[in-house]
Copies of this chain bind each other. A is one copy, B any other.
Amino acid sequence: ATHSLFLLPGDGIGTEIMVEVEKLIDWTNAQGLTDFSTDRGLAGGSAYDAHGVAITDEDTAKALAADAVIFGAVGGPKWDNVPYEHRPEAALLRLRKEMAVFANLRPAICYPALAEASSLKRELVEGLDILIVRELTGGVYFGEPKTITDLGDGQKRAIDTQVYETYEIDRIARVAFDLARTRSGRVHSADKKNVMKSGVLWDEVVKGVAKDYPDIKLEHILADNAAMQLVRNPKQFDVMVTDNLFGDILSDVAAMLTGSLGMLPSASLGAPDPVTGKRKAFYEPVHGSAPDITGKGIANPIAMIASFAMALRYSFNQIELANRVEAAIAGVLDDGLRTGDIAQDNRKVVGTEEMGAAILAKLKA
């Protein structure tokens, strides 16, 4: 049985770093470690240029049919003024919604070799390993009404709607608790229940789910305080579950803390199919399309490769191979290899291709 990967490199450095993943896939296939079939599509600005939309129906259907989608990054100044519904991000939002990948896993890991690159003091981030579990298909991202109304006299009214239902909170909470079981057994749930009704429901449902996990320690934290505490003392956290909008911000803060932003992957997972147990899955680096360095061959492919490792782990149960890929990444860093974004004194700065090749070489060794 062949497993299908649908590759959406996107824009900017997305296409450059995806190449390194393809080389990896070629090798794991050749070794008989995997049996991936791959197909490629367009997303974001490149899809807009080719088809006038951020992603075509055809590519969306392919994403829905694939065992896993491997996504690069979208956006760039070239598309700053395309019509709102066709902006590059629309591809991402459409795929998240249609694939129903509600559980966004964002690990924030501080690679030991890079602890110095953090803006935080070394002792605060060394060994940091947080997992943000972000709800990805609900909340203010998708709630209706979502409108701008002209009121006349030069006045407009804009409305966005944050909507959460019990089942949406319940299922994301279970993902967080399940993951906590494989880690330290602690979950922080972040909301603004002191101001938002969705926060009140969020907290109520999460506390209800916690009753099914007596072995897990749940702590509530207000989202603003969570942001502060992430900056003050990030190691107090292990798993943090939160809604779509807070997750967007908190996961970015957590990622930035590590000093390893160009290194961090993410996985977005759907519910397991009741019959096959398979879940739709979408893997992408946390960083963006970096238009400023596009075309220079200097982008860091590590987050992209680590996203592929997450696919091996979560979609294909290839735990050992995933571990090997992750160890290869840590290995080249320990060897002193760096891309420009993580350059350090006395470390060798290499380009995208050389970094990809070094990781592959480690894997072979």
Chain A residues proximal to chain B, CB less than 8 Å: 84, 87, 89, 93, 119-121, 124, 140-141, 143, 146-148, 151, 154-167, 192, 194-198, 200-202, 223-225, 227-228, 231-233, 245-246, 248-249, 252-253, 255-257, 261
Chain B residues near A245 (CB-CB < 8 A): 192, 245
A162-B159, A194-B87, A196-B140 are known contacts. Are A228 and B201 too (CB-CB below 8 A)? no
Chain B residues near A224 (CB-CB < 8 A): 248-249, 252
- Name the distance in Å between A149's Cβ and chain B's nearest Cβ: 9
A159-B163, A198-B160 are known contacts. Are A252 and B225 too (CB-CB below 8 A)? yes
Q: How far is the CA of A198 from the CA of B156 in the complex (A)?
A: 10
The answer on a CB contact under 8 Å between B256 and A228 is yes
Pull 7 A–B residue pairs with CB atoms less than 8 Å apart, ordered by A: A89-B194, A148-B201, A151-B166, A158-B200, A159-B163, A160-B197, A249-B249
By beta carbon, the residue of chain B nearest A195 is: B141
The answer on a CB contact under 8 Å between A197 and B89 is no
Given A87-B194, A155-B166, A161-B161, 20 more contacts at CB 8 Å? A119-B124, A119-B233, A120-B120, A121-B121, A140-B196, A146-B197, A155-B167, A157-B163, A158-B164, A159-B163, A159-B197, A160-B161, A161-B162, A162-B162, A224-B248, A224-B249, A227-B249, A227-B256, A228-B255, A231-B257
A166-B155, A224-B252, A227-B227 are known contacts. Are A119 and B197 too (CB-CB below 8 A)? no
Q: How far is the CA of A227 from the CA of B254 in the complex (A)?
A: 10
Q: Quick one: which of B121, B157, B194, B252 contacts A228, CB cutoff 8 A?
A: B252
- Name the distance in Å between A127's Cβ and chain B's nearest Cβ: 15
Q: How far is the CA of A354 from the CA of B89 in the complex (A)?
A: 55
Q: How far is the CA of A157 from the CA of B197 in the complex (A)?
A: 9
Chain B residues near A140 (CB-CB < 8 A): 140, 160, 162, 195-196
The answer on a CB contact under 8 Å between A165 and B151 is yes
Chain B residues near A195 (CB-CB < 8 A): 89, 93, 140-141
Q: How far is the CA of A148 from the CA of B87 in the complex (A)?
A: 33
- Name the distance in Å between A123's Cβ and chain B's nearest Cβ: 10
- Name the distance in Å between A112's Cβ and chain B's nearest Cβ: 18
A119-B232, A162-B160 are known contacts. Are A200 and B256 too (CB-CB below 8 A)? no
Q: How far is the CA of A261 from the CA of B227 in the complex (A)?
A: 13
Chain B residues near A256 (CB-CB < 8 A): 227-228, 231-232
The answer on a CB contact under 8 Å between A164 and B155 is no
The answer on a CB contact under 8 Å between A155 and B165 is yes
- Name the distance in Å between A86's Cβ and chain B's nearest Cβ: 12
The answer on a CB contact under 8 Å between A196 and B160 is yes
From A141, A195, A196, name the one whose CB has the most chain B CB atoms within 10 angstroms.
A195
Q: How far is the CA of A224 from the CA of B242 in the complex (A)?
A: 15
Chain B residues near A93 (CB-CB < 8 A): 195
The answer on a CB contact under 8 Å between B148 and A200 is yes
A159-B161, A159-B163, A162-B140 are known contacts. Are A228 and B253 too (CB-CB below 8 A)? yes
The answer on a CB contact under 8 Å between A156 and B201 is yes
